[in-house]
Structure 1
Amino acid sequence: MQLLNFSLAIILSLLFLGVEASQDGFIFNGFQSAKQNLSLDGIAEFTDNGLLKLTNNTYNSGSSHAFYQNPIPFKTPSSSNFSFSTTFVFAIRSENPYRSSQGLAFVISPTEFLPGGRSWRFLGLFNESTNGSADNHIFAVEFDTSMNPDSTDINDNHVGVDIYSIDSVNQTPAGYYDNHDPEKFHNVTLMSGDPIQAWVDYDGGNKQISVTLAPLKSFSGRKPNFPLLSFNYDLSPVLLDSMYVGFASSTSAYVVNHYVLGWSFMLNGLAQNLDISQLPKLPKKGGKKKLNYFLITGLPLICLFSIIAGVLGTIYYVNRKKKFAELLEDWEVAYGPHRFKYRDLYKATKGFKDSELLGAGGFGRVYKGVLPTTKLQIAVKRVSHESKQGMREFVAEIVSIGRMSHRNLVPLLGYCRRSGELLLVYEYMPHGSLDQFLHGPRKSHLNWYQRFRIIKGVASALFYLHEEWEQVVVHRDVKASNVLLDAELNGRLGDFGLARLYDHGSDPQTTHVVGTVGYLAPEHYLTGRATTNTDVYAFGAFLLEVVCGRRPIEQKARKQDMVLVDRVLWLWSQGRIMEAVDPSLGTNNIVKNEAELVLKLGLLCCNSEPEARPTMQKVVLYLDGAMALPELSSSSLLGGGIATKSMAFDSVTSFEDVSVSSYSFLTSSTQYSHASGSILSGGR
């Protein structure tokens, strides 16, 4: 009898303090006496008045978790079908409400804590290795107040359902639907600092997940008639027999406090309604206001100072707005996720300082930068473009290219437009361009294995552009300076499609050929049209350049320019093609059959007849050894693009006797000259 009275007293005391708990559910109307019921880690803590505070007033201090200490038996030996319901009241307060920060998440996890959960974009739920893995068995509903450019976030104020990954399977802007008109949507600002109530329900019978949201002030604990988000998904494979329920959050570059005021959960039933009157109060916004006698007595001086500061501030604002002015037209709204703010790019590149300059060439100047929010290293290309003709189509192409995903393409992250200028944002490649390793100060730093891997990577990228992407993309400027090397020295093809910008702004009265001398196919000079065949020709010149370590055309001081493709062809005709290999590689450090294959393939790609050149699909098969390279013959290689006087090689005593003027691709019909300016040459 005494034991029964003692147990009854404990239960009554818990009810009085706003805490009820059972095996399948619980309710906390505040957390004044819940310390023994919840397990905290990271920077989570309880306040003196009973708030669960997930984050504190610190920057970048990591992640935090708060879990109900007892596991919930979602599945039993007799049944694996389950449902659950939960509701909670939370508030997010930021030091700077105008800058996006991290949110919080309701989470169901197989462990009481989430070791290794990273902050920033992962909300303390995952890290680089666990994100996207079905082995983590994590279900979460995020209330996110930031938009990460490297994830699928729709904006910086959304609700999403995360299963196994921080990339939500379903998400929607935060808000609620009118009780009388389900078509009428009301926004809710998650970072307003005001209490917001959320409901998360899972119907195991219908396999349906529903999330509902409402401001506590407007609804006073009443659930809206229509859910904010509802869709079908079977959670049986996701959740294990026993799981822990709780919350996760993380900090960022801005001070943000995440609070939970009350929480109710029920398995296979409806969660109890929270008693709004028992919930603890949030701290007053801005803290206590004190009357300052000095402000009253010094009011005239303060007013004068305010006027002066206002005038100076206005001047500063006008000048700053002019400095960071962007060109934004109505049709660009649809490209919002791909458009960067000029202000962010300006800060990332330290004001486009010369110290951050990576290079300059025919397509503009390239600067290194670090995005201030994500710390992602980027390369920003500034391209001058005065004409508006075709800009809409070109931006559409940029956005389309930004959706490409291939390991040997330089990722194009987005763009920014200003008057007369277009800025393209790429992922930064730490080792720079390949031409620096072939002809610059880092010459001979690449061995044969690395060169051959780069060649195969660029071939794979061109095959992707020509045949595997949803549209045919002609690169138009394949060359060593447009091949960048990542941290592992893998070749990444860049600047694909950029030449189209010059077509949009060209003068219709002039012949306009875009490309680089030495890589241009003969028919490109005559017609000005770029095709996949002209890309193959340029790739052939690129192959010879990588293997030989020499530029496609080298200027001689006393003799006429040397054309690399003709030199290799001449050596092949003499049975000495391996003499073309870069001497810096050393005879013992190359794979002879691979080097000979690349040299012959380069000649085949540089055939003067476009239809005689192989497709990039065949090129990839040749390089992989999946298809044998056809035997080369004089008849298959002779032509304007290589050498019209190759038939006379028997009477030529050395390659020096063969001059550039001998070849038909420099005939008078092309009207080519270095001074014409119709061919854009040079690097990036």
Structure 2
Amino acid sequence: MPPLTDDRKFNSSGRRRSSSGRRPFSVSGRTPDRWDFSRSSGVSTASSVSAVSSASGVSTARTKSSISYRSWLVEFLKAILTCFGKPEIRPPEPRPLKSPSSTPSRSRHANSFSSTGKLSEIQKATKNFSPALKIGQGGFGTVYKGTLDDGKLVAVKRAKKKLDIWALQTMHDSHVSVEFKSEIKIMGRVEHLNLVKFYGYLEDGDEKIIVVEYVPNGTLREHLDGFHGNYLDLGARIDIAIDVAHAVTYLHMYADHPIIHRDIKASNILLTETLRAKVADFGFARANESGVTIVSTQVKGTAGYLDPEYLKTYQLTEKSDVFSFGVLLVELISARRPIEPKRKLKDRITAKWAIEKFTQGSAIEVLDPNLLRTPATNLAVEKVLELAFQCLAPTRQGRPSMRKCAEILWDIRKDYRQLSTSYPLP
């Protein structure tokens, strides 16, 4: 399908976030500059001043004085315009809702949108972006629940805007435009059971909108916080870890080019009603089309999940996602956030605290206190933290691949289920 016409984030290559893969294009759509002095009748040129002066019989000295003053005024205002003004840019023609025609696998979603659809379709689907339909808020903007004419539920990501005080118009932050381009580029080329589906995008005037699959059961972080009722049991948490591992393995190994997500975290993991996990938000993603290590001029990601080697060297590889996945594993086991500012200083960085407990032989102390301790739980916690320890290695050479992580988690799940059967809960 042409563009919608969605890290992503929903953007398929780039929160610029920066240059190569998921995010870089920049389309500037703003209204004509209101400070264009060349069209203003309020400032006349020196020649026009001279003509008026001669016609009115003003003395030569006075005419020269008037010309000199007005010429100075013109030059002064031009200098101000040079420093602060904005060039005149014609806004682009509104683009119809569409999905990338280069991705045949998207064609089955084409019936969701009119090929000549416009902003009015999205406004209708979201009841003109009603606050009652708001389901999320992020760096890119606001997410709304929408219903298309055929009854299909979608998530509509609307880019945030700011007021440009010089051009007297709203516009997008440059990083939002980069994320938008990155997300639609990368999401248009990937498809997997554990990735949020991309339906299309729309650019219309100052609106930038991404439309993706609606996942009804909230984020993993919300479930770990107990916002949806009962807490997830350990078996469900291991299943979710496997789903995420499958999704990231696909990005690293089976997409057209290796894709680095760069923002694997609990709030970017959406859950279905059957607790299947789907990775969302591709705004920071990068496609490694060259096959070599990406040197990033800007570090992108979320505090607490960032690979320390990436922070130090600016070299981005698939192993940066592996480090973030290690933090996520600790989060799943403990239900703590990656950074807990209200705790004691030595316990504030959750991954560091958990690994210390693991190396001291007290892995079970990391378990979420809302979960029961059983022989099966004790064994699973030990093994998951051992995998997390490997993922959190300080250098990428010491970390496993995402495919290896998935294989290890399969074995952990198998052992957990067998032991749970042998020692059922009372």
TM bucket (normalised to shorter chain) is 0.5 to 0.7
Q: Is the CA contact 2:136–2:142 (under 8 Å) kept in the aligned structure 1?
A: yes
Identity %: 36
Q: Distance in 1 between matches of 2:368 and 2:275?
A: 19
Q: Is the CA contact 2:322–2:391 (under 8 Å) kept in the aligned structure 1?
A: yes
Q: What's 2:122 paired with?
A: 345
Which string of whole-angstrom CA distances, capped at 9 and with x for unpartnered residues, describes residues 498-534 of structure 1? Answer: 4569xxxxxxxx9632211100010222244432111
SS in 2 for 1:572: helix
Q: State which of 317, 328, 332 in structure 1 corresponds to 2:95.
A: 328
Deviation at 1:468, TM superposition (A): 1.5
Higher RCO by CA contacts (8 Å cutoff, separation 6 or greater): 2
Q: What's 1:555 paired with?
A: 341
Q: State which of 492, 514, 523 in structure 1 corresponds to 2:300.
A: 514
SS in 2 for 1:424: strand
Q: 1:486 to 1:541 in 2, by over 3 A?
A: same
Q: 1:333 to 1:415 in 2, by over 3 A?
A: closer
Q: State which of 219, 235, 244 in structure 2 corresponds to 1:449.
A: 235
SS in 2 for 1:369: strand
Q: Distance in 2 between matches of 1:364 and 1:430?
A: 19
Deviation at 1:598, TM superposition (A): 1.2
Which string of whole-angstrom CA distances, capped at 9 and with x for unpartnered residues, describes residues 626-666 of structure 1? Answer: 999xxxxxxxxxxxxxxxxxxxxxxxxxxxxxxxxxxxxxx
Q: Which protein has the larger Cα radius of gyration, Structure 1 or Structure 2?
A: 1
Q: Is the CA contact 2:329–2:384 (under 8 Å) kept in the aligned structure 1?
A: yes
Which string of whole-angstrom CA distances, capped at 9 and with x for unpartnered residues, describes residues 387-406 of structure 1? Answer: 78997997486255234221
Q: State which of 134, 140, 145 in structure 2 corresponds to 1:368.
A: 145
Which string of whole-angstrom CA distances, capped at 9 and with x for unpartnered residues, describes residues 43-92 of structure 1? Answer: xxxxxxxxxxxxxxxxxxxxxxxxxxxxxxxxxxxxxxxxxxxxxxxxxx
Q: Distance in 2 between matches of 1:354 and 1:436?
A: 20
Q: What's 1:606 paired with?
A: 392
Q: Is the CA contact 1:436–1:443 (under 8 Å) kept in the aligned structure 2?
A: no
Q: State which of 326, 330, 342 in structure 2 corresponds to 1:544.
A: 330
**Aligned residue type for 2:379:** N
Q: What's 1:383 paired with?
A: 159
Deviation at 1:496, TM superposition (A): 2.8
SS in 2 for 1:358: strand
Deviation at 1:470, TM superposition (A): 1.9
Q: Is the CA contact 2:346–2:353 (under 8 Å) kept in the aligned structure 1?
A: no
Q: What's 1:616 paired with?
A: 402
Pair 1:408-2:194 in alignment: yes
Report which of the two has the higher share of helix: 2
Q: Distance in 2 between matches of 1:440 and 1:570?
A: 26
Which string of whole-angstrom CA distances, capped at 9 and with x for unpartnered residues, describes residues 450-479 of structure 1? Answer: 111111000000000100122111111000
- Relative to structure 2, which stretch is displaced further, 537-546 or 387-396? 387-396
Q: Is the CA contact 1:326–1:342 (under 8 Å) kept in the aligned structure 2?
A: no
Q: What's 1:483 paired with?
A: 269
Q: 1:526 to 1:392 in 2, by over 3 A?
A: closer
Q: Distance in 2 between matches of 1:383 and 1:390?
A: 7
Q: Distance in 1 between matches of 2:312 and 2:403?
A: 26
Q: State which of 219, 225, 228 in structure 2 corresponds to 1:433.
A: 219
Q: Is the CA contact 1:409–1:493 (under 8 Å) kept in the aligned structure 2?
A: yes
Q: What's 1:651 paired with?
A: none
Q: Is the CA contact 1:382–1:423 (under 8 Å) kept in the aligned structure 2?
A: yes
For the aligned residue pairs, the C-alpha RMSD in angstroms reads: 3.6
Q: Distance in 2 between matches of 1:608 and 1:364?
A: 33
SS in 2 for 1:379: strand
Question: Structure 2 length normalisation: TM-score?
Answer: 0.62
Q: 1:352 to 1:460 in 2, by over 3 A?
A: same
**Aligned residue type for 2:151:** K
SS in 2 for 1:584: coil
Q: Is the CA contact 2:270–2:278 (under 8 Å) kept in the aligned structure 1?
A: yes
Q: Is the CA contact 1:382–1:422 (under 8 Å) kept in the aligned structure 2?
A: yes
Q: 1:529 to 1:415 in 2, by over 3 A?
A: farther
**Aligned residue type for 2:95:** L
Question: Tell me, which stretches of 5 or more residues in structure 1 are unaligned?
Answer: 1-146, 150-324, 502-509, 629-684
Deviation at 1:364, TM superposition (A): 1.6
